[in-house]
Structure 1
Amino acid sequence: MKLGLNLSFAIKRWLGGDAMAHIVKDELGLDIVQFTWDLVDPWWPAEKRDPIAREYAAAFRRAGITIESTFGGLASYTYNHLLGPTPELRALGKEHLKRAIDMTSEMEVRAAGMPFGSFSSADALDPSRREAIYKEAVETYVDISRYAKEKGLETLYVEPVPLATEFPSSATDALRLMKDLNAQTAIPVRLMVDWGHALFTPLFGEQADMDYWMKTCGEYIGAFHIQQSDGLLDRHWNFTRDGIITPERLAEFWKRHKLADQTYFMEIIYPFEETDEHVLADMKASVALLRQAA
């Protein structure tokens, strides 16, 4: 398995490029990461933001760590972005992604992504409003793709989410979005499929199945987020806990589908109150379990 690390586990803990590179390379023994915007906020003023972002990137390069992509985190996920209920909110969503692309370009990273957006409760229940906002969002994203290409990016990622008020949530929604976007975008757009989202049984029922996702939209899946879950909520637990997404299940899926280029990014989110010592020990144990299964 090609194993990488979303840096969500480290927010509020190991800040700064050298400190983070030491944890990733020396403590966990990994050399592929996905940089979360929770560490550097795209909305910070560029003249102060970009030197901080570049410092992370430079430290990782010195340590032999590849940043495959940057990605929206907890903070970014709280907003409606391109599917917001008003033109003003949707415009801010566009600006948010453009600023993240600017930051990603400054880091000399060639891919960035985030969830597409979420409807308001009222719009989610109105089919005509959903469709109108969706079509506008697709046009906006195509424009963003041109901007990303100008900034040197080669790929954009969209993460499906486990809420019916968001888009895309289901595999069929994801397939529709990929076809609608890639018919027009200046650079490829791919899916960042989160196992905990895809296996969310209360929403998807029998279609909460990764083989179903591969059959439906596998040609567009560029990478995965992996974590432990019970299938009942979006847990983002580590693999040291019991659940339905075991290291063995991940390894079997990888081999059976003959995956090679995609990365399994561990996206583990701890309570902020947890001690740094526990988080680091737990991450080490989980990496060992995944390597043993592979």
Structure 2
Amino acid sequence: MKLGLNLSFAIKRWLGGEAMARIVKEELGFDTVQFTWDLVDPWWPTDQRDPIAREYAEVFRNAGITIESTFGGLASYTYNHLLAPTPELRALGKEHLKRAIDMTSQMGVKAAGMPFGSFSTADANNPARREKIYKEAVAAYLDLTRHAKARGLERLYVEPVPLATEFPSSATDALRLMTDLNAESAVPVRLMVDWGHALFTPLFGDEADMDYWMETCGDYIGAFHIQQSDGLLDRHWNFTHDGVITPERLSEFWKRNKLTDQTYFLEIIYPFEETDEDVLADMKASVALLRQAV
């Protein structure tokens, strides 16, 4: 398995390139990461934002750590973005990703991504409104692929999410979006499939199955988020917890599907009240379990 580390575990804790690189490389032994926008907000004024983002990237490169992509985090996920109910909110969602692409370019990183967006409850339950907003969102995203290419990015990612009011949530939704986007996109658009999302049984039932996802849209899956889950909520637990996703299951899936180029990004979100010492100890224990299963 090719293991990488989403930096979500570290938000509000080990800030700055030097502190983060030490934790990533020396304490946890990773050389591939996914940078979360929770560390540097794309909406910050560019004159202040870009030097901070570049400092992370430069220190990571000097430490031998590759930032494979940047990705939206908890703060970004709060908003409806491209599927919001009003044109003004959808325009702000487009601007959000545009700024993130600009920041990613400043870091010298070649890929960026986030969930596509979320309908309001009223729009989600209105098929005509839902389709109209979806088509506008696809057009907006295609414009962003052109912006990404102009800024030197080579790929964009969309993360499916486990809510019926969001898009894409199901594997068939994901396939539709990938087909619609990649028919005209300026750079490839791929899926960042989170195991905990895909195995969300209350929404997907019998289709809460990673094999089903591979059969349906596997050609478009560029990378994965991995987490421990009970299949009932989007837990983002570490593998020191019991649940339905074990390191052995991840390893077996990787080998059976002959995966080579994708990365399993460990994406763990801790309560802010957890002590730094407990978080780091738990991360080390979980990483050891994952590496034993490789």
Q: Shorter-chain-normalised TM-score: which range? A: over 0.9
Secondary structure class of the residue paired with 1:109: coil
Amino acid at match of 2:123: D
Mapping of residues 61-210 of structure 1, within 5 Å: 61-210=61-210
Aligned residue number for residue 234 of structure 1: 234
Provide the rounded CA distance (Å) in 1 between the counterparts of 2:247 and 2:103: 33
The size of the alignment, in residue pairs, is: 294
List per-residue Cα deviations over 1:238-274 (Å, max 9, x = no partner): 0000000000000000000000000000000000000
List per-residue Cα deviations over 1:26-62 (Å, max 9, x = no partner): 0000100000000000000000000000000001001
Amino acid at match of 1:123: D
Amino acid at match of 1:23: I
Amino acid at match of 1:278: D
Secondary structure class of the residue paired with 1:153: coil
Provide the rounded CA distance (Å) in 2 between the counterparts of 1:47 and 1:187: 27
Aligned residue number for residue 264 of structure 1: 264
Provide the rounded CA distance (Å) in 2 between the counterparts of 1:211 and 1:63: 37
CA shift, 1:163, in A, is 0.1
Secondary structure class of the residue paired with 1:47: helix
Aligned residue number for residue 28 of structure 2: 28
Amino acid at match of 2:183: A
CA shift, 1:277, in A, is 0.3
Aligned residue number for residue 223 of structure 1: 223
Q: Does 1:58 find its partner at 2:58?
A: yes
Provide the rounded CA distance (Å) in 2 between the counterparts of 1:284 and 1:260: 25
Provide the rounded CA distance (Å) in 2 between the counterparts of 1:47 and 1:102: 12
CA shift, 1:80, in A, is 0.3
Secondary structure class of the residue paired with 1:177: helix
Aligned residue number for residue 273 of structure 1: 273
Provide the rounded CA distance (Å) in 2 between the counterparts of 1:48 and 1:78: 23
Provide the rounded CA distance (Å) in 1 between the counterparts of 2:29 and 2:35: 17
Aligned residue number for residue 244 of structure 1: 244
CA shift, 1:110, in A, is 0.2
CA shift, 1:159, in A, is 0.1
Provide the rounded CA distance (Å) in 2 between the counterparts of 1:282 and 1:257: 29
Provide the rounded CA distance (Å) in 1 between the counterparts of 2:92 and 2:104: 18
CA shift, 1:15, in A, is 0.1
Provide the rounded CA distance (Å) in 1 between the counterparts of 2:187 and 2:167: 21
CA shift, 1:286, in A, is 0.5
Provide the rounded CA distance (Å) in 1 between the counterparts of 2:54 and 2:187: 24
Amino acid at match of 1:266: L
CA shift, 1:138, in A, is 0.3
List per-residue Cα deviations over 1:64-113 (Å, max 9, x = no partner): 00000000000000000000000000000000000000000000000000
Identity %: 85
CA shift, 1:145, in A, is 0.3
